[in-house]
Amino acid sequence: MITIGVEEEYLLVDPDSGQPAPLSDEVRAAAGLGPVVQERELQAELLQSQVEVATPVCETLDEVGGHLLRLRHAVGAAAEPLGCRLAATAAAPLAGDSLVAVTCQPRYQDLHVRARQLVNEQLINGMHVHVAMPDREVAVAVLNRIRVWLPTLLAMSGNSPLWQSHDTGFASWRTTVFSRWPVCGVAPAFADLTDYERRTAALVESGVIADTGQLYWQARLSERYPTLEVRCLDVQLRADDAVMFAGIVRALAATALREHKSGEPEPECAPELLQAAMWQAARHGLSGKLVDPTGRPRSAGDTLYLLTQHIAEALEEAGDDREVGALIHRLLRQGNGADRQRQALARAGMPALIDLITTEAIAP
């Protein structure tokens, strides 16, 4: 069984105004006082209105869901007495003229010096899925195989349609905001681990980025853990939506491992097509045509069918097929987070939207 771990970033908001609440230090300190949260599970993020959690290493999707609900509830319970709420949205729907303070850590302060305006506008939150790899050489081969599916995952995960109180027209505005960093987007295909390490070292040696932690590709090899890290996902409204993506990413990795071992050729997709596919996915989510892994335009439903067929064997072997299948069907029926945010806004305005992103964050 391939083990997995999930990291999620959340926004803290004022429940009345919906504005970002710069109370991360206080919320993390309060959440850490309880017996249900370990220190390593709760982390600071770039801006003081953000909080990040990280699950332990998990073998089953039930474990992933249990840990995410536990951590979401712990942070939410800590936030309430401090006058703010946990919001599971990938972009702040409202932001006033005043800037949110940068977290007082050397790494974040250095980023602020390097790219002040980008940091000031990083009111965005993602979800990262780590899948265990036998070694880094194999991880590069898996990365080469799953990269063509990243636009599909992004379209499914879109949960950031609003920015500064207006609809951006994008399902994942987070992706657009994040794409302005120097090393981002879909990673190129690599010949092998030596090629990966040579090219990443050259990026660091160029001085444009400080270290490999600033390789902001949508999927990359982790430098801290023996894992492949998929980073293209918006943070999800609900914990069970996050569980669905954990299951899909693990199945993609398992399928790639099997193909690699059997010597199947790696999929080919021109980098410009992958870039266009990511933009299309961020723009339309599930409401328009997507670009499939071969570069062809397809409906969202047909593209998700291709994905489920591609990973069906891996899902069944892990015992995840029923749970993930049911959650994908719900996604197609109800829409992604961006669709639901727009529905709430149309139904009853910004108060309904703020209620959605805060109540769904801790829904069982």
With pLDDT > 70 as the criterion, what percentage of the chain qualifies?
99
Full pLDDT tens readout for the chain, 364 residues: 899 999 999 999 999 999 999 999 999 999 976 777 887 899 999 999 999 999 999 999 999 999 999 999 999 999 999 999 999 999 999 987 679 999 999 999 999 999 999 999 999 999 999 999 999 999 999 999 999 999 999 999 999 999 999 999 999 999 999 999 999 999 999 999 999 999 999 999 999 999 999 999 999 999 999 999 999 999 999 999 999 999 999 999 999 999 999 999 999 999 999 999 999 999 999 999 999 999 999 999 999 999 999 999 999 999 999 999 999 999 999 999 999 999 999 999 999 999 999 999 999 8
Cβ neighbours of residue 174 closer than 8 Å, sequence gap 6 or more: 90, 91, 124, 125, 126, 159, 160, 234
For residue 51, what are its two tokens?
């909080």
- How far apart are the C-alpha atoms of 284 and 298, rounded to whole Å? 12
Per CATH, which fold does 4-334 belong to? Creatine Kinase; Chain A, domain 2 (3.30.590)
- Provide the pLDDT for residue 106: 94
**In whole angstroms, how far apart are CA 124 and each of 10, 130, 144, 233, 334?**
8, 20, 27, 11, 23
Which one, of 201, 193, 97, lies nearest residue 138 by Cα?
A: 193
- Provide the pLDDT for residue 76: 97
- Cα-Cα-Cα-Cα dihedral sign, residues 138, 240, 76, 349: positive
User: By the 8 A CB rule, do 93 and 163 touch?
Assistant: yes
Q: Is the pTM of this model over 0.85?
A: yes
User: By the 8 A CB rule, do 13 and 239 touch?
Assistant: no
- Provide the pLDDT for residue 36: 76
